[in-house]
């Protein structure tokens, strides 16, 4: 089983102590977003968890503890660093601070376990395509020795985003192609493997891989293990990622990013964060009398095991 810690919230930046507590106790509870009384228990055991996936905009809080996890589990880290300032990402560190932290993380876990995420790409009068190219080049120049690849995607214009960011300039396929082409040119300059995330547009003719961000190939190379290539049937269109299980919760990320899909609004997320109990088996709330707990069927996706680690 592949366990995803960060697709619903920035667990690393805001819930590090909770996460470490869960690994120390060896299990975690996760509520079903559609049926809140349905609770799944996941065992945090390296014998049955094939890989832990992290996704964050700030790894600084977990750096002192990360080896407690990487010494026991296979891991992969997505680090999001974009061109946006606090008007769009209010509680995200500056670009230079993020670069500094990424370099620290790479020194601990190794470059082959880190993907730089430059997404979502969106345009406004302030954040023009030219500005994106300049900032992409600046970030790439500073981090290319410390990463495995770069993953990018274009913003999805769902209804909530149309309300939260009316200033967004809509992109047609031709404009997306033009932006992707320029990003590919910059990535090539720094010898960075560049790929898309969840898109139906094929950019392979301009040197961009049409891949998923969590695939057996990526995880196999990162951890020197051969994984089965099992696609998740619940993926959104264009997503080629393999099957994972999530332990985060929606409406719990205080980053306040205006393009966020995981929060109804920043006020709800901030309130939930303040009510967080780091000693609870849930990231949000506690066990209730009405909860129905089931144990996850944690099937292994590993085909060929690596040589045993020296602890």
Residue 105 has, within 13 A of its CA and on its CB side, a CA count of: 33
* Beta bridge pairs of residue 41: 29, 295
pLDDT for res 236: 61
What tokens appear for 22 in the block? 């869960």
Measured in degrees and rounded to the nearest 5, phi and psi for residue 255 equal: -60, -35
Residues 66-103 pLDDT 10s? 999 999 999 999 999 999 999 999 999 999 999 999 99
pTM of the complete model: 0.94
Left (φ > 0), alpha (ψ -120 to 50) or beta: where does 114 sit? beta
Across the range 163-178, mean pLDDT stands at 92
Q: Residues 243-252, buried b or exposed e (16+ Cβ, 10 A)? A: bbbbbbbbbb
Between helix 129-143 and helix 95-109 the angle, nearest 10°, is 40
What tokens appear for 310 in the block? 């020296």
pLDDT for res 116: 98
Residues 215-224 pLDDT 10s? 889 999 999 9
Rounded Cα–Cα distance for residues 248 and 235 (Å): 17
Instruction: Name the band, by pLDDT with cuts 50, 70 and 90, for residue 255.
Output: very high
Between these two residues, 204 and 239, which has the higher pLDDT value?
Answer: 204
Rounded Cα–Cα distance for residues 216 and 227 (Å): 5
Which stretch of 1-15, 64-78, 223-237 has the lowest confidence by average pLDDT?
223-237
pLDDT value at 306 more than 60: no
Between these two residues, 47 and 211, which has the higher pLDDT value?
Answer: 47
Instruction: Tell me how crowded residue 176 is: count the other CB atoms within 10 A of its CB.
Output: 15
Residues 123-162 pLDDT 10s? 999 999 999 999 999 999 999 999 999 999 999 887 778 7
Indicate the length of the chain as a whole number.
311
């Amino acid at each position: 089983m592949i366990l995803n810690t960060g697709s619903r919230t920035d667990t690393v930046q805001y819930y590090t102590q909770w996460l470490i507590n869960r690994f120390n106790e060896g299990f975690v509870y996760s509520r079903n977003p559609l049926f809140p009384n349905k609770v799944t228990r996941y065992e945090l055991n390296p014998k049955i968890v094939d890989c832990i996936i992290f996704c964050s905009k700030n790894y600084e809080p977990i750096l002192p503890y990360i080896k407690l996890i990487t010494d026991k589990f296979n891991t992969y880290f997505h680090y999001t660093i974009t061109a946006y300032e606090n008007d769009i990402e209010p509680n995200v560190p500056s670009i230079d601070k993020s670069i500094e932290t990424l370099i620290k993380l790479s020194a601990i876990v190794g470059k082959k376990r880190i993907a730089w995420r430059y997404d979502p790409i969106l345009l406004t009068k302030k954040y023009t395509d030219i500005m994106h190219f300049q900032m992409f080049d600046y970030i790439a120049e500073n981090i290319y020795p410390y990463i495995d690849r770069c993953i990018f995607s274009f913003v999805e214009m769902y209804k909530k985003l149309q309300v939260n960011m009316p200033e967004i300039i809509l992109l047609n396929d031709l404009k997306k192609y033009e932006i992707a082409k320029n990003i590919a040119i910059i990535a090539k300059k720094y010898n960075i493997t560049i790929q898309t995330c969840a898109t139906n547009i094929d950019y392979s003719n301009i040197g961009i891989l049409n891949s998923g961000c969590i695939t057996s190939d990526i995880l196999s190379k990162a951890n020197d293990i051969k994984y089965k290539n099992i696609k998740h049937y619940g993926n959104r269109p264009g997503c080629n990622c393999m099957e994972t299980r999530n332990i985060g919760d929606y409406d719990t990320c205080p980053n306040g990013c205006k393009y966020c899909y995981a929060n109804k609004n920043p006020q709800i997320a901030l309130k939930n964060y303040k009510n967080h109990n780091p000693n609870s088996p849930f990231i949000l709330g506690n066990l209730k009398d009405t909860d129905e707990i089931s144990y996850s069927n944690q099937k292994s996706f590993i085909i060929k095991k690596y040589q045993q680690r020296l602890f």
